[in-house]
Amino acid sequence: MRIVTSAAAMQCLALRWRRTGTRVGFVPTMGYLHDGHLSLVSRARRLVGKRGIVVASIYVNPTQFAPTEDLSAYPRDLDRDKALCRKAGVDVLFLPSDTEMYPGRDAGGYSTYVVEEKLSQGMEGGARPTHFRGVTTVVAKLFNLVLPDVAVLGAKDWQQAAILRRMVRDLNFPLKLVVAPTLREKDGLAMSSRNKYLSTEERSQATILYRALKLAKEVVLSSRAPNYADVLKKELAALIATQPAARLDYVEFFDGETLQPTTSVTRDTHMALAVFIGKTRLIDNAELR
pLDDT digits (tens, 9 = 90+) for 159-213: 999 999 999 999 999 999 999 999 999 999 999 999 999 999 999 999 999 999 9
37 part of the active site:
yes
- Cβ atoms of 274 and 250 closer than 8 Å: yes
In whole angstroms, what is the distance from residue 238 CA to residue 3 CA? 48
Residue 5: strand pairing partners:
none
Averaged pLDDT, 2-29? 98
DSSP assignment string, 88-101: HT-SEEE---HHHH
Of the candidates 244, 251, 252, 239, the one whose C-alpha atom is nearest the C-alpha of residue 208 is 239
- How, if at all, do strands 264-265 and 150-154 pair? unpaired
Q: How many other β-carbons are positioned within 10 Å of the β-carbon of residue 117?
A: 8
Of the candidates 282, 120, 128, 129, the one whose C-alpha atom is nearest the C-alpha of residue 213 is 282
Mean pLDDT over all residues of the chain?
A: 97
Averaged pLDDT, 37-51? 98
Domains of the chain, by residue range, sit at 2-180, 193-287
Report residue 108's pLDDT band, with 50, 70 and 90 as the boundaries: confident
CATH class of 2-180: alpha beta
| pTM of the predicted model as reported, rounded to 2 decimal places | 0.96
Nearby residues of 160 by Cβ (< 8 Å), 6 or more positions away: 124, 132, 135, 153
pLDDT of residue 70: 80
pLDDT of residue 37: 98
pLDDT digits (tens, 9 = 90+) for 231-280: 999 999 999 999 999 999 999 999 999 999 999 999 999 999 999 999 99
Backbone φ/ψ region at 11: left (φ over 0), alpha (ψ -120 to 50), beta: alpha
pLDDT of residue 7: 98
Report residue 281's pLDDT band, with 50, 70 and 90 as the boundaries: very high
Task: Compute the Cα dihedral for 106, 108, 112, 114 and give only its sign.
Answer: positive
In whole angstroms, what is the distance from residue 53 CA to residue 223 CA? 48
Instruction: Compute CA distances 98 → 5, 103, 106, whole Å.
Output: 11, 7, 9
Architecture category of domain 193-287 in CATH: 2-Layer Sandwich (3.30)
Nearby residues of 53 by Cβ (< 8 Å), 6 or more positions away: 17, 22, 23, 24, 25, 91, 92
Instruction: Compute CA distances 219 → 118, 162, 216, 262, whole Å.
Output: 30, 26, 5, 16
SS3 assignment, position 169: helix
In whole angstroms, what is the distance from residue 154 CA to residue 238 CA? 29
Active-site annotation holder among 34, 37, 131, 270: 37
